[in-house]
Amino acid sequence: QKIYSPEVNNRLVPKEFSEQLTNHKKLNNFLNLSPAITPQGDKIAYISDRSGYQNIYLMSAIDGKEIKTLVKGQRSESFEELHFLRPGMSFSPDGKKLAFTAKSGKWDAIYIQDIESEEFEKHVIPMNGAFTTSWSPKGDKIAFVGNNNEKSDIFLFDLKTREITPVTDDVFTDDQPSWSPDGRYIVFVSDRGHYTSDEQLPEYFRMSDYDYTFRDIYIADLETGEINRFTNTPWEESFPKFTPDGKNLLFISDESGINNIYKQNLENGEYNAITNIISGILQISLDKNANKLIYSTFYQTGFDIYMINKPLELEPKELQLTQYARDLRNGKTPIYALDWRQEKKDSGEEEDKEEPVKEIKGEQPADYSRYVFGTYRPSQEQKPPKEVAIPEIKLKDEFGNYKSHKYKVNFSPDLITSAAGYNTFFGFEGYATFAFSDLLGNHQIFLNASLWTDLRNSDFALSYYYLKRRINFGAGGFHLVYFLSDGFSLLRYRNFGANFIASYPLSRYNRIDLMGLWYNVHLEYLDFNRPTQKISAFLPEVQYVHDNVLWGFRWGVFSPVSGSRYNIALRFSPKLIEENLDFRTVKVDYRKYFMLSQQYQFAFRSTFGASFGENAQQFFLGGMDNWINPRYLYGKRIGNIEDVFFSEFITPLRGGFYYERTGNRFFLFNTEFRFPLIQYLQLGFPPLSLFNVSGVAFYDIGAAWSVTDSRWWSLEEFQGVNNGRFKDLVSGYGFGARIYFLGFLVRWDIAWPYDLARSGKPIHYWSLGLNF
């Protein structure tokens, strides 16, 4: 209390001197930052993750109400990343357009968006990175930070000629540019120290030997090209801004140990703090008349945006140093920086009057400051480490540079574990997994095995992945065994073959997958002397995948909460030999998720497919995936290889059994409303506790039918409704619950079949697995 009370009592929380514009607690989010106010002071743009994704929002600086969402980020290649870690947005002088940078495919780009029409211009910057835009007062140029050739410099982008010219060009890190009111100067922060020109750099200057710990403020004269150092302090300055008269600078400094806003005169160098905040100020933005100052801060477990009216009229503040800052300036190790033990005072120092600390008798407690808690118990005998001297000639060449050696691939184990799963057709399954990779992760090997009596009755799969290039390659082989009974005999299915995959990412959200599968299935009758049935197939497949889905935990359930994804797949089975099957299949699966709030989501899915050829694939519509208490229409089909391994169950369709409809054409629509059901429930009898139970309400409808001609899609043989009731169509509605139990997500659904005329008897579905 003696140490920390002064730290709190002598400083202000943000609401005590500024107006709060965002509230992360009410929004139930974390990030509200990178604010930029229009020169007129009427609107504010900022980045927020309130939707789960990072978007750019526009709010009123008059009443704080949200106006619109300007940019939806992290959903497409154009706005893959909004650079919130190196933020900086800027309005045009008339306040009608907003400039910002974002990752856009291979390069970054400067975007200029009209805030009324929301149309934008995209200017690709062919550099390693582009950050922190600042629009010139004349409106003809935009200053930005560009990373190129392992350097970070200030550049100007000419809006008319589209030319890029450097303001700085050296080995130092320059950041956060801002214009003077007359457009002649640019103020920025840099770690360059006293090196304001290339001529001052020593001939053999190396950044690895240079102390770049602190950044100071510098001013570049665009007419003469000169750079002058403005601050020279042992602390960190950031986000400098000219005042409207051009005579002062506002900037952030951690001189007191906490980031506060300071004002410094450009002529005489006098400066003073104008804020005394407890949480620290991160970013500032000023309108052209300095009537409003916008800043962001981290307070009460989240980032929010605040506004100060008439910031230049704030009284100077005398800031008290934090205990941490005092210790550093006195050359002491801060008491909470290393081992949490207060340094002993010199004998000459006056002791504070405190109650004497009682000495603990007996064995002294251990020092846990560097203890790693876990189950590992080292041996009692600790051997001192041996010093190994490596001759310098082995490390460095004749010029004193470290020698480089060719990388050698050496595999080491990453993971050795066991896992269990459940499949409706084959029941519970268990296997051991062994994963190996090299140091860089370019090469990965996976071995899954479930050994039983001998190799003929065992499961094992070996895969290798090459991930060094943009195209990821994988290849492997497998042998899988399944035992089934039809009530009369014991059947053994043996699957073996090899697979290949190549995945080419078009962007972060889109990719093309090319797969090849050599697939062999043997059906053996163990109780009867019947010939073994054999089918062999070569199955090439190509897929186009789009996925920008945001996943998250909602009431303990991990599932998609926002975004969309779709998959377009084409699979072929050419009849090369007599044992091969002949079919061609196309499938489309589209899913969309709407986050109505942090707790409520709406999910929609549509999928359809068609298979044609001599051995067209069959689609079995109805039921749930991983259904624990399954019900089959006319029994379980296990006596035909094509039905078991070359067909496909189309789920979920709650309101129907397995095989409710079959055919070589299908479509299915699913809608779900997902919501919190039980946060915590304690029962007296039976003694049972339930917590984080989520609920769903759903409606499913689909159909499957067969087409006998060669047309890939035909509705001539489809009859959806007959005499006012569904015929080929099947639908169901109901509700359900989701809860984790023993590591499995247990799903319970109750559905009523509905055929337009009436609702049928309810069907209960107990199943395992994630939500679609």
- CATH classification at residue 591: 2.40.160.50
> Do 509 and 576 share a domain, yes or no?
no
pLDDT at 344: 44
pLDDT band, residue 343 (cuts 50/70/90): very low
pLDDT at 87: 77
> Do 99 and 214 share a domain, yes or no?
yes
The closest of 427, 184, 175, 372 to 283, measured between CA atoms, is 175
> Do 636 and 770 share a domain, yes or no?
yes
Helix (H) / strand (E) containing 645: helix 641-645
Please tell me the distance from the alpha carbon of residue 525 to that of residue 490, in angstroms, as a whole number: 6
- For residue 116, how many other CB atoms are within 10 A of its CB? 9
- In a domain? residue 542: no
Convert the pLDDT of each residue in 644-665 to its tens digit: 999 999 999 999 999 999 999 9
Whether the per-residue pLDDT at 362 is higher than 50: the answer is no
Helix (H) / strand (E) containing 524: strand 510-525
The closest of 374, 451, 463, 447 to 413, measured between CA atoms, is 447
**DSSP bridge pairs for 214:** none
pLDDT at 379: 52
* Pairing of the two strands 648-650 and 619-621: parallel
Query: Which residue among 273, 300, 329 closes a domain?
Result: 329
What sign does the dihedral 16-19-23-26 (CA atoms) show?
positive
Average pLDDT over residues 603-630: 94
pLDDT at 373: 53
Average pLDDT over residues 55-64: 95
> Do 45 and 143 share a domain, yes or no?
yes
Q: Where are the alpha helices (DSSP H) in 334-448?
A: 392-395
The closest of 749, 634, 741 to 692, measured between CA atoms, is 741
Higher pLDDT, 399 or 337: 399
Whether the per-residue pLDDT at 366 is higher than 70: the answer is no
Mean pLDDT of the chain: 89
Average pLDDT over residues 499-508: 95
Average pLDDT over residues 596-603: 91
Whether the per-residue pLDDT at 140 is higher than 80: the answer is yes
> Do 44 and 136 share a domain, yes or no?
yes
> Do 521 and 552 share a domain, yes or no?
no
Please tell me the distance from the alpha carbon of residue 424 to that of residue 422, in angstroms, as a whole number: 7
The closest of 591, 586, 627, 592 to 609, measured between CA atoms, is 586
pLDDT band, residue 354 (cuts 50/70/90): very low
Please tell me the distance from the alpha carbon of residue 177 to that of residue 174, in angstroms, as a whole number: 8
Whether the per-residue pLDDT at 621 is higher than 60: the answer is yes
Query: Which residue among 329, 358, 386 closes a domain?
Result: 329
3-class DSSP state of 393:
helix
- In a domain? residue 351: no
Instruction: Among 338-352, 445-459, 521-535, 584-598, name the most confident range.
Output: 584-598
Please tell me the distance from the alpha carbon of residue 465 to that of residue 502, in angstroms, as a whole number: 10
Whether the per-residue pLDDT at 367 is higher than 70: the answer is no
- In a domain? residue 243: yes
Please tell me the distance from the alpha carbon of residue 29 to that of residue 599, in angstroms, as a whole number: 12
Average pLDDT over residues 19-36: 94
Share of the chain above pLDDT 90, in %: 66
Please tell me the distance from the alpha carbon of residue 714 to that of residue 13, in angstroms, as a whole number: 68
**CA distances from residue 727 to 86, 536, 648 in whole angstroms, order as listed:** 59, 36, 21
Whether the per-residue pLDDT at 568 is higher than 90: the answer is yes
> Do 468 and 582 share a domain, yes or no?
no
Of 89-93, 292-296, 402-406, 594-598, minimum mean pLDDT range: 402-406
Question: Which CATH number characterizes residue 487's domain?
Answer: 2.40.160
Whether the per-residue pLDDT at 562 is higher than 60: the answer is yes
pLDDT band, residue 689 (cuts 50/70/90): confident
Q: Which residues contact 499 (CB under 8 A, 6 or more apart)?
A: 474, 475, 476, 477, 478, 515, 516, 517, 518
> Do 489 and 556 share a domain, yes or no?
no
Q: What are phi and psi of 312, to 5 degrees?
A: -75, -15
- In a domain? residue 294: yes
Convert the pLDDT of each residue in 212-251 to its tens digit: 888 999 999 999 999 999 999 989 999 999 999 999 999 9
- Kindly state the greatest CA–CA separation across the chain: 104
pLDDT at 151: 86
Q: What are phi and psi of 329, to 5 degrees?
A: -70, -25
Q: Which residues contact 125 (CB under 8 A, 6 or more apart)?
A: 101, 107, 108, 109, 110, 144, 146, 157, 164
Convert the pLDDT of each residue in 705-722 to its tens digit: 998 776 666 677 788 888
Query: Which residue among 275, 298, 329 closes a domain?
Result: 329
- In a domain? residue 389: no
Convert the pLDDT of each residue in 159-184 to its tens digit: 999 999 999 999 999 999 999 999 99
Q: Report the amino acid identity of residue 601.
A: Q
- In a domain? residue 341: no
pLDDT at 276: 95
- In a domain? residue 395: no
Question: Which CATH number characterizes residue 188's domain?
Answer: 2.120.10.30
Of 66-75, 97-106, 230-239, 572-581, minimum mean pLDDT range: 572-581
Question: Terminal CA-to-CA distance of the chain, rounded, Å?
Answer: 52
Whether the per-residue pLDDT at 642 is higher than 60: the answer is yes
- For residue 298, how many other CB atoms are within 10 A of its CB? 17
pLDDT at 295: 97
> Do 502 and 626 share a domain, yes or no?
no
Average pLDDT over residues 519-536: 89
Please tell me the distance from the alpha carbon of residue 331 to that of residue 341, in angstroms, as a whole number: 16
pLDDT band, residue 203 (cuts 50/70/90): confident
pLDDT at 346: 46
pLDDT band, residue 372 (cuts 50/70/90): low
Whether the per-residue pLDDT at 96 is higher than 90: the answer is yes
The closest of 653, 652, 632, 629 to 643, measured between CA atoms, is 632
Q: Report the amino acid identity of residue 318.
A: E
Q: Can you read off the two tokens belonging to residue 748?
A: 């319970």
Of 254-268, 480-494, 506-520, 700-714, minimum mean pLDDT range: 700-714
- For residue 667, how many other CB atoms are within 10 A of its CB? 20
3-class DSSP state of 325:
helix
Ramachandran class of 365: left when φ > 0, alpha when ψ lies in -120 to 50, beta otherwise: beta
Q: Which residues contact 431 (CB under 8 A, 6 or more apart)?
A: 418, 419, 448, 449, 450, 459
pLDDT band, residue 424 (cuts 50/70/90): confident
- In a domain? residue 652: yes
> Do 574 and 635 share a domain, yes or no?
yes
Burial of 543 (0-12, 13-18, 19+ CB in 10 A): middle
48 touches 40 (CB < 8 A): no
pLDDT at 349: 44
For residue 673, the number of C-alpha atoms closer than 13 Å in the C-beta half-sphere is 7
pLDDT at 671: 98
pLDDT band, residue 697 (cuts 50/70/90): very high
pLDDT at 583: 93
Whether the per-residue pLDDT at 427 is higher than 90: the answer is no
How is residue 293 annotated by DSSP? Answer: E
The closest of 539, 543, 559, 540 to 551, measured between CA atoms, is 559
The number of domains in the chain is 3
> Do 68 and 206 share a domain, yes or no?
yes
pLDDT at 65: 93
> Do 100 and 168 share a domain, yes or no?
yes
* Pairing of the two strands 427-437 and 443-452: antiparallel
Please tell me the distance from the alpha carbon of residue 90 to that of residue 132, in angstroms, as a whole number: 8
655 touches 732 (CB < 8 A): yes
Share of the chain above pLDDT 70, in %: 92
E-assigned strand segments in 222-372? 227-229, 237-242, 248-253, 260-265, 271-273, 281-286, 292-298, 303-309
The residue segments making up the domain with residue 143 are 5-329
156 touches 142 (CB < 8 A): yes
Whether the per-residue pLDDT at 56 is higher than 80: the answer is yes
